[in-house]
A = this chain, B = another copy of it.
Amino acid sequence: MARVTTSPTFKRLPRAVREQQMLDAAVRVFSRRGFHAASMDEIAEDAGISKPMVYAYLGTKEELFIACLHREGTRLMEAIVAGVGTDLPPDEQLWRGLRAFFGFVGAHRDGWAVLYRQARAQQPFAGALATMRERMVEVIGTMLAQALAAEGREIRDMDLEVMAYALVGASESLADWLADRPDADPDKTATRMMNFAWVGAGQLLHGETWPPAPLSP
């Protein structure tokens, strides 16, 4: 009696590969629908895999989303760090960082920006988000701190933090702007952001603050 082991086409892939497939699918679906509107069914189907597998590999829906966030966030960070380089003047560093950031966002229009936006709206992800943001603020803060050190000046930590937040916020806003406009050019957007950020930040770093003279209360 003949053996009937029809080779199951493309099955039994190693775990690591399967996980990436799932994450790809999850990122797609979460971006397309938003966290809540995304259903585990759709994700599993989009991944070409059965639901229990998703649970077995990546855990609950929240954990799955966090996994997406992590992977995409890490990729973004890597892109930025790789773009920034080392031992360059701070403005060049910032410029390269921004260009990398907008380049990445522009290239993954369905990924990072949307996930991030989602995460900010769902409280369960406060933790994961805080982590991400700290990483970003740290990267930017470090740059700024180096620049200040180079100038021999100092700045209070909280001011630094706020400035970093403002920068990140402005960048996020433009990232949204960019994500909504398929024809827009990431590099030009980066330039505009740089102008906005640096000429301002630059002056600040030189010690000039506003207002020139004290103002209302």
Interface residue total, chain A, C-beta cutoff 8 A: 51
In the complex the two chains form, is A120's CB within 8 Å of B122's CB? Answer: no
Whether A91 is near chain B, meaning CB under 8 Å from some CB there, is yes
A173 engages B166 (CB within 8 Å):
yes
Number of copies: 4
Smallest Cβ-Cβ distance to A177: which chain B residue: B165
Q: 0/1 per residue, A10-25, Cβ < 8 Å to B?
A: 0000000000000000
Q: Is the CB of A166 within 8 A of B194?
A: no
Residues of chain B within 8 A (CB-CB) of A60 are: none
A169-206 with Cβ < 8 A to chain B: 169-174, 176-177, 187, 189, 192-204
Q: Can you list 9 residue pairs at the A/B interface with Cβ under 8 Å?
A: A95-B215, A117-B120, A117-B121, A162-B193, A163-B196, A166-B192, A166-B193, A172-B173, A200-B204
